[in-house]
Amino acid sequence: MTLRFYDSATASVRDFVPLTEGRASVYYCGATVQGEPHIGHVRSALAFDQLTRWLQAKGLEVTVVRNVTDIDDKILVKAVENNEPWWALAYRFEQAFEDAYDALGILKPTYEPRATGHIPEMHALISLLIERGHAYPALDDSGDVYFDVRSWKQYGSLTRQNIDDMQAAPDADPRGKKDARDFALWKGSKPGEPETASWASPWGAGRPGWHLECSAMVTKYLGTEFDIHGGGLDLRFPHHENEMAQSQAAGHGFANFWMHNGMVTFEGEKMSKSIGNTINPREMLQIARPLVVRYYLGQAHYRSVLDYRPGSLTEAAAAVERIETFVKAAVSQAHSNGKVSVTGNLPDTFTAAMDDDLNIPAALAVLHETVRAGNTALAKKDIEAAGVALEAVVSMTDALGINPLDEQWARGGDATAELAALDVLVKAQLEARAQARTEKNWAESDKIRDVLAAAGIDIADSANGSTWSLRR
RNA sequence: GGUGGGGUGGCCGAGAGGCGAGGCAACGGACUGCAAAUCCGUGCACACGGGUUCGAAUCCCGUUCCCACCUCCA
């Protein structure tokens, strides 16, 4: 089957044919760094990380650009509230986002441009739009520059909306606009705003409008036409609609595919900064390991709503442990050297599921079926079959970014020495217990197990001896 | 008012005309000194009402409920 993705612009699943053979260019909207990341931000980045990994697995050379919006109204407001320079606040939260992405193994984009670093590119785009008759300086003397929505007849096409049918914003302030729907490309400086948040421009000092940065940056790094533009579903309108309008009005082909990930809800309600029902990745990481959090956030189809509720992570942990238990057992029995290479040989059913608009739930079904087959092989002492299953499982998990053998998920480096020491001590206990068991001294055997269990160490007996693991 | 997405077994979550995806939980069995893990089995699900069809969770008509976007939002 060929690679297909759902394209929001046409509301249909289409074959994905890269504009340049062998390559793929992806731009997706990162965060406005005005606060701590919440799980929804991470899910979005994860969805596009899964996309990136799959494009790579298909042999494409992928260029990924994710923006950082480091200047906007809220950043300025919050900086004042915090009595902190806006740029310090933006940078601080940018780091918090990076930390959250890193913790979950989200691959670094090829490049991560900041809005404030691309003012000249934005000016050039504004000038071009004015020349072409699609933008105009504000009719009052605010110093704003607006996109002229009525001048672009395709406006609304991304979300298939008609301007006249749209509900007017309740706080519609016409300011110097020709139409209430016109949006700011450039915002003139207002009294009281910090000088550091103001840049000179042909239309007066000011700062960029939100939508403009993406159009300017995507063109700079990926060209006037590129393969995929992604982002959260909530960005579809107005942000992506506006982006598309201004870029196409400037004569650019722009995105070939638009991909939008679904929202994360909290017990049925959308999580958002403005409502305040958010979950911090840090909080999730306190109740589950990074690998489990990644598995949980990535297990549903990227376009589905993902509803978080207490207990979700416990269930995900059970599923992850099932995979890990098999991999661990198979490595020790089928790969005595402990080295398992990612072959990239994926079951056809897995590939077919992934090719079909990244159907990860179906791909995970293949993964779990392979785990079961592997476990059965181990039970039958069919080492060859177990080895085959092991390689398939490792390759599949690797393609999804949840390979339990990946050093990304290894415990922190600091713990290595402690673990090694613990291993020596626990192994001594296991030997004593093995002795007791050969003597059928079950009381002693169980006592040793209980003592270890009380310390958070679980032991498991098998035909090949006993193994231990730290309860997590 | 406009646009879009949905209602699937105890829970999560795919599928989209015909063999009960998969995971979690539960129960029964096998294995085990006992556990744990693992394997096998059980549950006969598709909001409601009509219709089309040999056959519908999947198509059509109607009803109903939910959610998102239309203002900053991943």
Say if A34 falls within a structural domain. Answer: yes
- Contact between A260 and A303 under an 8 Å Cβ cutoff? The reply is yes
Say if A304 falls within a structural domain. Answer: no
CA distances from A364 to A157, A370, A443 (A): 35, 10, 42
Say if A243 falls within a structural domain. Answer: yes
Per the structure, how many domains does chain A have? Answer: 3
Which pLDDT belongs to residue A456? Answer: 84
Q: Nearest nt (C1') to A360 (CA)?
A: B14
Q: Are residues A36 and A102 in the same domain?
A: yes
Q: Nearest nt (C1') to A378 (CA)?
A: B38
Which residue type occupies A122?
A: M
Q: Are residues A82 and A222 in the same domain?
A: yes
Percent of chain A with pLDDT over 70: 95
Q: Are residues A151 and A236 in the same domain?
A: yes
Q: Are residues A370 and A236 in the same domain?
A: no
Residue A172 reports pLDDT greater than 60: no
Q: Are residues A328 and A360 in the same domain?
A: yes
Q: What is the CATH number of the domain that holds A65?
A: 3.40.50.620
* Nearest by Cα to A129 from A185, A72, A69: A185
CA distances from A297 to A43, A104, A304, A433 (A): 6, 10, 11, 40
Region A432-443: what's the mean pLDDT?
Answer: 92
User: CB of A210 under 7 A from strand B?
Assistant: yes
Between residue 232 and residue 291 of chain A, the positions with Cβ below 7 Å from nucleic chain B are 232-239, 261-265, 268-274
Q: Are residues A164 and A60 in the same domain?
A: yes
Between residue 287 and residue 316 of chain A, the positions with Cβ below 7 Å from nucleic chain B are 299-301, 304-307, 309, 311-312, 314-315
For the ranges A270-279, A328-337, A353-362, the lowest mean pLDDT is seen at A270-279
Rounded distance in angstroms from the CA atom of residue A312 to the C1' atom of nucleotide B17? 34
Within A76-148, strands assigned E span 135-137, 145-147
Pick the last residue of a domain from A409, A426, A446.
A409
Pick the last residue of a domain from A221, A246, A261.
A261
Say if A194 falls within a structural domain. Answer: no
Whole-angstrom distance between the N-terminal and C-terminal Cα of chain A?
40
Rounded distance in angstroms from the CA atom of residue A182 to the C1' atom of nucleotide B52? 49
Which pLDDT belongs to residue A75? Answer: 95
Q: Are residues A442 and A459 in the same domain?
A: yes
Pick the last residue of a domain from A261, A295, A329.
A261
Q: Is A95 or A171 the better-scoring residue by pLDDT?
A: A95
Say if A35 falls within a structural domain. Answer: yes
Which pLDDT belongs to residue A454? Answer: 86
Spell out the residues 6+ positions from residue A39 whose beta carbon is closer than 8 angstroms to its own.
A264, A271, A278, A279, A280, A281, A284, A297, A308
User: CB of A460 under 7 A from strand B?
Assistant: yes
Region A284-295: what's the mean pLDDT?
Answer: 94
Tell whether residue A177 is among the known ligand binding residues. no
pLDDT tens digits, one per residue of A369-389: 999 999 999 988 899 999 999
Rounded distance in angstroms from the CA atom of residue A122 to the C1' atom of nucleotide B52? 57
Peptide bond into A238 cis (omega under 30): yes
* Nearest by Cα to A55 from A401, A382, A328: A401
Say if A290 falls within a structural domain. Answer: no
This model of the complex carries an ipTM of 0.94
- Helix then strand then coil, % of chain A, to nearest 5: 50, 15, 35
Cα–Cα dist A279/A308, whole Å: 9
Residue nearest the C1' of B12 (CA based):
A312
Residue A413 reports pLDDT greater than 70: no
* Nearest by Cα to A228 from A59, A68, A16: A16
A345 conformational bin, left if phi > 0, alpha if psi -120 to 50, beta if neither: beta
Q: Nearest nt (C1') to A268 (CA)?
A: B67
Spell out the residues 6+ positions from residue A394 whose beta carbon is closer than 8 angstroms to its own.
A327, A340, A341, A342, A343, A403, A405
8-state DSSP, A260 = E
Q: Nearest nt (C1') to A328 (CA)?
A: B37
Q: Nearest nt (C1') to A41 (CA)?
A: B74
- Contact between A8 and A259 under an 8 Å Cβ cutoff? The reply is yes
Region A441-469: what's the mean pLDDT?
Answer: 87
Q: Are residues A402 and A421 in the same domain?
A: no
Q: What is the CATH number of the domain that holds A328?
A: 1.20.120
Say if A189 falls within a structural domain. Answer: no
Q: Are residues A86 and A64 in the same domain?
A: yes
Enclosing domain of residue A463 = 415-470
Kindly report the bases of strand B lying within 7 A of a protein C-beta atom: 1-5, 11-15, 21-25, 32-40, 66-74
Q: How many degrees, rounded to 5, is the angle at CA A287 between CA A285 and CA A291?
A: 50
pLDDT tens digits, one per residue of A105-137: 999 999 999 999 999 999 999 999 999 999 999
Q: Nearest nt (C1') to A300 (CA)?
A: B13
Q: Are residues A331 and A371 in the same domain?
A: yes
Residue A202 reports pLDDT greater than 90: yes
Which pLDDT belongs to residue A415? Answer: 65
Q: Which secondary-structure segment (H or E) carries A290?
A: helix A290-298
Q: Are residues A328 and A443 in the same domain?
A: no
User: CB of A169 under 7 A from strand B?
Assistant: yes
Mean pLDDT highest for which of A44-58, A171-185, A333-347? A44-58
Spell out the residues 6+ positions from residue A80 whose beta carbon is closer than 8 angstroms to its own.
none
Rounded distance in angstroms from the CA atom of residue A281 to the C1' atom of nucleotide B20? 37
Cα–Cα dist A143/A140, whole Å: 8
User: CB of A160 under 7 A from strand B?
Assistant: yes
Find the length of chain A.
472
Say if A253 falls within a structural domain. Answer: yes
Residue nearest the C1' of B33 (CA based):
A442
Which pLDDT belongs to residue A365? Answer: 95
Rounded distance in angstroms from the CA atom of residue A228 to the C1' atom of nucleotide B6? 26
Rounded distance in angstroms from the CA atom of residue A114 to the C1' atom of nucleotide B28? 60
Q: Are residues A374 and A457 in the same domain?
A: no
User: CB of A361 under 7 A from strand B?
Assistant: yes
